[in-house]
Amino acid sequence: MKFNYYGFKAIYVHEMNRFIRTIGQSLLSPVISTSLYFVVFGSVIGNYIQKIDGVSYGSYIVPGLLMLTLLTQSISNTSFGIFFPKFNGTINEILAAPISTLETVLAFVGAGATKTLVVGAVIYATASFFADVSVMHPMLMIFLLVLVSFTFALFGFLIGVVSKNFEQMSIIPSLVITPMVFLGGSLYSLDMLPPFWQTISYFNPVVYLIDGLRFSFYGVSDFDIWISISSMVFFLIVCITLVSILLKKGYNIKS
The total of structural domains in the chain comes to 1
Q: Within a domain: residue 254?
A: no
Own/partner pairs, 96-100, CB within 8 angstroms, 24+ separation: 97/7, 98/4, 98/7, 99/4, 99/7, 99/8, 99/11, 100/1, 100/4
pLDDT of residue 254: 53
- Does pLDDT of 139 surpass 90? yes
Render pLDDT for 166-176 as a digit per residue (tens, 0 to 9). 777 778 777 88
pLDDT of residue 146: 92
pLDDT of residue 46: 66
CA distance 181 to 24: 25
Domain with 221, as residue range(s), is: 11-45+52-249
Q: How confident is the model at residue 250 (pLDDT cuts 50, 70, 90)?
A: low
Q: Within a domain: residue 197?
A: yes
pLDDT of residue 216: 92
pLDDT of residue 145: 92
Q: Within a domain: residue 6?
A: no
Q: Which residues of 218-227 are buried (b: 16+ CB within 10 A; e: fewer)?
A: beebbeebee
DSSP lists the bridge partners of residue 52 as 55
* Sign of CA pseudo-dihedral 175, 142, 238, 18: positive
* Sign of CA pseudo-dihedral 91, 95, 99, 102: positive
Q: What is the mean pLDDT of the chain?
A: 82
- Where is pLDDT greater, at 167 or 110? 110
CA distance 2 to 148: 28
Q: Within a domain: residue 86?
A: yes
Q: Within a domain: residue 137?
A: yes
Q: Within a domain: residue 232?
A: yes
pTM of the model: 0.86
Q: Within a domain: residue 115?
A: yes
Render pLDDT for 21-37 as a digit per residue (tens, 0 to 9). 877 777 888 888 888 88
Question: Using CB atoms within 10 A of its CB, is residue 42 exposed (0-12), middle (13-18) or buried (19+)?
Answer: buried
Q: Within a domain: residue 25?
A: yes
Render pLDDT for 200-246 as a digit per residue (tens, 0 to 9). 888 888 888 898 999 999 888 888 888 888 988 898 888 888 887 87
Q: How confident is the model at residue 82 (pLDDT cuts 50, 70, 90)?
A: confident
